[in-house]
Amino acid sequence: MKDIYFLSSLPRAGNTLLGSIINDNKNVKCTANSITPFILDDLFKLKEHLTFKNFPDHKSLDNLIKNVFKKYYENWNVDVIIDRSVWGTPGNLKYLKHIFKEPKFILLIRPVLECISSFVRLQIENGTDENVIKENIYSLLDINTGIIGKSLWSIDNIIKTKQNYKIFYYKDLVNNTDSFLKDLSEYIKVDIKLPNTLKQFSVNNIKYDDSVHKFNLHTIKTESIESSKYNVMKYIPKEIIKRYKESNENYR
């Protein structure tokens, strides 16, 4: 079976940039937002189905569950895969523990308020109404359905439950890229180098289709690697800034 690491990160924290760099190297690939947790969720839910309860063949179903990653990544011609999702939420973590004795996590983090600001600026550039933007901020932070809220929950739970993880910072990715990649290479035991020319994210010749979203979420700058600066007071309501002040400091 291929060696799999699980990337749990904050959105707008350099995931697409990092994936683009990784995927330009040999013997390692990073996924886009992965569907594997949804596959596992559907399979585990079958155990609650009346038909299964009527004839509870756990061994046969567990054979399928335990081979999900092996079969899903069968045609990926690399030894190491980095699977990106909110793997640290209690449900997803339980699924992984059913398959892997000690799953290995990569945590990519950035100050929370910067991540929120990045989403807000995208909406402003897209001409979204100010009141809608404010509603969207609260939706993003919902712990069960919001992309930022769920990602925070995932990362915090991985740390809280003392999983096997290593933290990497967005600021290092953009400001000390070579050092960042060296640390990551040592953790996953595969050499990752910065390519001479940055390319848009793709894996196995498949690219993001952001037409399914309202915003262009996965286009990176290919001319250079640089950090975007945000005046969070300009983008985020004061009550949100106050609520996430501690998390913001912890994620610097």
Question: Tens of pLDDT along 162-221?
Answer: 999 999 999 999 999 999 999 999 999 999 999 999 999 999 999 999 999 878 899 999
- Is the confidence at residue 236, as pLDDT, over 90? yes
> pLDDT by residue (tens digit) across 53-98?
999 999 999 999 999 999 999 999 999 999 999 999 999 999 999 9
CA 137 from chain center: how many Å?
A: 19
Point out which residues pair with 8 in neighbouring strands: 107
Show the DSSP H helices in the chain as ranges: 15-22, 36-45, 50-54, 58-66, 68-72, 90-99, 112-125, 130-140, 147-160, 170-175, 177-188, 232-235, 238-243, 245-250
Q: What are phi and psi of 227, to 5 degrees?
A: -90, 140
Q: What are phi and psi of 146, to 5 degrees?
A: -80, 140
Gap between the Cα atoms of 217 and 25, Å rounded: 23
Residues near 63 by beta carbon (within 8 Å), at least 6 away in sequence: none
Task: Tell me, yes or no, if the pTM score tops 0.85.
Answer: yes
Q: How many CB atoms lie within 10 A of CB 214?
A: 12
Gap between the Cα atoms of 49 and 32, Å rounded: 31
> pLDDT by residue (tens digit) across 125-176?
889 998 899 899 999 999 999 999 999 999 999 999 999 999 999 999 999 9
Domains of the chain: 3-250 (3.40.50.300)
